[in-house]
């Protein structure tokens, strides 16, 4: 119910912003772009999806050598559309990826481990990207005005995010699944499904720990690839601003892209970050000297890109439909994990 309320508030917020700027003005700007410009706008996101799929594949190790890259890309795209469009979010999309890998003869333990590690490397890269963006924002905007103060507050917030990420990595190295099981026991909560699979959980934790111990090059490579994926977000900002008439500045594009990612991550509880993400993009472009019409058109064009990838993700789900019949009952610990 709360998500429905937040969704309605987001729609109302977006509608208010569009009405304030002027639907006719937005329509005039977008129609002047033309289909070729819209296709050019999609190139950075294509790069992002490809690079991030490679970032995930390197965490799979030898068990995925037989998988063609295009299939890894399709599985990840299918999982991401579940992350973006369903109430389950990451708790639905990430298990789906491991489940689809299992149906491609990748052991479930390797699939689950890769999902956990890839989510970690992606978050580490995201924190680095945001920190760089905030630093650039403070330098470009200055710290004496309200914009600089806002960026400084964001720097403090992302510091907390970095600390949380470091804590998450630390817990993984200690055994995230068995640690969670022990924590539940301490608070007097016993889940029969998990209790019956304690040894499998321990085995999964050992596999994750072994990855950190013996596959550090893969960890660093995955982090670097995901960082390039985040930088593709900045490229998208640059391309859209250029298509809207600019001026497009590379350093500003990096800062806007990073702060936009930060805003989206901070409003994850709103379905699709609707309204908050769009208002944040408008605010960011205003802070960097762009007009209201450029800001809202920029936000709507990024929504257009999201819709395109949702469509592609749904197509991937359709093509993989023979392997997702068991999704409602996905139990990643039922097979191939542990002794």
At which residue do the structure tokens 């997702």 appear? 324
Q: Please report the pLDDT score of residue 181 as a whole number.
A: 75
Q: Is the pLDDT of residue 145 over 60?
A: no
At which residue do the structure tokens 């007009």 appear? 291
**Residue 329 backbone phi and psi in degrees, to 5:** -120, 35
At which residue do the structure tokens 């299939």 appear? 71
Contacts of 55 (CB under 8 A, 6+ apart): 118, 121, 122, 125, 221, 222, 223, 224, 225, 226, 229
Domain coordinates of the chain in residue numbers? 38-329
Q: Which of 80-84, 191-195, 210-214, 221-225 has the highest mean pLDDT?
A: 221-225
At which residue do the structure tokens 């999201």 appear? 306
Contacts of 111 (CB under 8 A, 6+ apart): 60, 97, 98, 99, 101, 102, 332
Long-range contacts of 29-32 (CB under 8 A, 24+ apart): 29/244, 29/293, 29/297, 30/297, 30/300, 30/301
Helix (H, G, I), strand (E, B) or coil at 193: helix
Q: The tokens of 203 are what?
A: 């085995």
The three-point CA angle 196-334-111 to 5° equals: 125
Residue 72 confidence class, pLDDT cut points 50, 70, 90: very high
Q: Which DSSP symbol is given to 327? A: G
Q: Please report the pLDDT score of residue 149 as a whole number.
A: 56
Is residue 200 within 8 A of residue 333, CB to CB? The reply is yes
Q: Which of 89-98, 201-210, 300-309 has the highest mean pLDDT?
A: 300-309
Element (H, E) at 320: none
Where does residue 83 rank: exposed (0-12), middle (13-18), buried (19+ CB within 10 A)?
Answer: middle
Q: 105 versus 80: which is more confidently predicted?
A: 80
Where does residue 97 rank: exposed (0-12), middle (13-18), buried (19+ CB within 10 A)?
Answer: buried
Contacts of 83 (CB under 8 A, 6+ apart): 89, 90, 92, 93, 94
Is residue 33 within 8 A of residue 243, CB to CB? The reply is yes
Where does residue 251 rank: exposed (0-12), middle (13-18), buried (19+ CB within 10 A)?
Answer: middle
Q: Is the pLDDT of residue 291 over 80?
A: yes
Q: Is the pLDDT of residue 7 over 80?
A: no
In this prediction, residues 11-31 reach a mean pLDDT of 82
In order of 124, 179, 332, 336, the CA distances from 209 in angstroms are 17, 13, 18, 18
Q: The tokens of 302 are what?
A: 């990024």
Helix (H, G, I), strand (E, B) or coil at 245: coil
- Using left for φ > 0, alpha for ψ between -120 and 50, and beta otherwise, residue 158 falls in alpha
Q: The tokens of 153 are what?
A: 């507050």
Q: What is the pLDDT of residues 212-264, one digit of tens each?
A: 888 889 999 999 999 999 999 999 999 999 998 888 899 999 999 998 988 88
């Amino acid at each position: 119910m709360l998500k429905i309320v937040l969704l309605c508030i987001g729609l109302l917020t977006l509608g208010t912003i569009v009405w304030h700027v002027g639907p006719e003005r937005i329509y005039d700007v977008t129609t002047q772009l033309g289909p070729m410009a819209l296709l050019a706008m999609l190139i950075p996101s294509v790069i992002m999806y490809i690079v991030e799929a490679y970032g995930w594949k390197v965490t799979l190790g030898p068990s995925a050598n037989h998988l063609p890259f295009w299939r890894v890309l399709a599985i990840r795209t299918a999982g991401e559309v579940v992350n973006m469009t369903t109430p389950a979010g990451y708790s639905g999309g990430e298990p789906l990826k491991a489940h689809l890998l299992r149906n491609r003869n990748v052991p479930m333990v390797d699939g689950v481990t890769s999902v956990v590690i890839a989510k970690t490397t992606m978050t580490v890269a995201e924190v680095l990207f945001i920190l760089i963006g905030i630093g650039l924002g403070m330098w470009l905007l200055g710290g004496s005005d309200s914009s600089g103060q806002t960026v400084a507050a964001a720097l403090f917030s992302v510091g907390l995010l970095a600390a949380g990420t470091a804590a998450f990595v630390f817990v993984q190295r200690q055994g995230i699944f068995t640690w969670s099981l022990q924590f539940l026991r301490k608070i007097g909560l016993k889940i029969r499904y998990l209790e019956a699979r304690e040894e499998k959980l321990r085995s999964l934790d050992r596999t994750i720990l072994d990855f950190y111990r013996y596959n550090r090059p893969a960890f660093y490579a995955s982090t670097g690839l995901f960082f390039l994926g985040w930088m593709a977000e900045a490229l998208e900002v640059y391309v859209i601003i250029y298509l809207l008439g600019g001026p497009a500045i590379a350093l500003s594009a990096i800062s806007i892209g990073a702060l936009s990612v930060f805003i989206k991550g901070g409003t994850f509880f709103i379905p699709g970050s609707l309204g908050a993400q769009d208002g944040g993009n408008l605010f960011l472009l205003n802070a960097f000297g762009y007009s209201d019409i450029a800001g809202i058109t920029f936000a709507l064009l990024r929504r257009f890109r999201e819709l395109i990838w949702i469509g592609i993700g749904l197509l991937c789900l359709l093509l993989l439909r023979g392997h997702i019949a068991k999704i409602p009952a996905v139990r990643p610990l039922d097979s191939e994990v542990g002794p």
